[in-house]
């Protein structure tokens, strides 16, 4: 069984419920973690099970490169968004607007956007369902936002390379 499949299976089975870093478990899979912390996948699974701890430097690398405050990763409780707060509703609306932008790109005929839209639709439904049921974690928000931004970035048309035009004839 590969590493990520094992992670998903163990997460579903509740083996990570006692993890010291519940917010790290939430972002794992959607954002790079073990490669940034420079630890083996086996060690990362042991950390999620509560058998090992990460060093502060390993946690700070994950936080820095993913643009997440270190305090979020070291928080012992899962950070949840409250849909009663205006700021959190705006955060959800931001992810929704990224999804709509991708949808518009696909509607305009961008074939890459159409391909990414298939994947983004499932994630968007899951994300909005969690927001609607007031069960959206901060980690889920961060991962969804990152994925939507990446889909848009990868689907954006690339500019043609600038070059030199070949001239016919000699000097004028």
Q: What are the tens digits of pLDDT across the range 82-94?
A: 999 999 999 999 9
pLDDT computed for residue 171 by the predictor: 58
Question: pTM of the prediction?
Answer: 0.84
**Which is nearest to 56 in space by CA: 37, 79, 33, 41?**
37
Q: What are the tens digits of pLDDT across the range 101-143?
A: 999 999 999 999 999 999 999 999 999 999 999 999 999 999 9
pLDDT computed for residue 54 by the predictor: 92
pLDDT computed for residue 172 by the predictor: 56
pLDDT computed for residue 170 by the predictor: 58
What does pLDDT average to over the chain?
90
Question: Is the predicted pLDDT of residue 168 greater than 60, yes or no?
Answer: yes
How many percent of the chain have pLDDT more than 70?
A: 97
pLDDT computed for residue 94 by the predictor: 97
Q: Choose between 168 and 154: higher pLDDT.
A: 154
């Amino acid at each position: 069984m590969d590493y990520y499949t094992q992670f998903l299976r163990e997460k579903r089975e509740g083996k990570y419920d006692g993890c010291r870093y519940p917010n790290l478990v939430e972002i794992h899979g959607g954002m790079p973690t073990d490669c940034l912390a420079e630890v083996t996948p086996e060690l990362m699974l042991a950390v999620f099970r509560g058998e090992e701890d990460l060093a502060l430097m390993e946690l700070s690398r994950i936080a820095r490169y993913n643009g997440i405050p270190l305090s979020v990763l070291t928080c012992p409780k899962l950070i949840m968004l409250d849909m009663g707060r205006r700021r959190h509703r705006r955060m959800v609306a931001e992810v929704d607007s990224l999804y709509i932008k991708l949808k518009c790109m696909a509607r305009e005929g961008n074939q890459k956007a159409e391909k990414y839209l298939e994947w983004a639709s499932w994630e968007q439904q899951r994300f909005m369902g969690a927001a609607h049921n007031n069960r959206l974690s901060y980690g889920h928000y961060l991962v969804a936002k990152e994925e939507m931004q990446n889909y848009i970035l990868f689907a954006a048309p690339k500019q043609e390379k600038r070059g030199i035009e070949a001239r016919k004839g000699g000097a004028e």
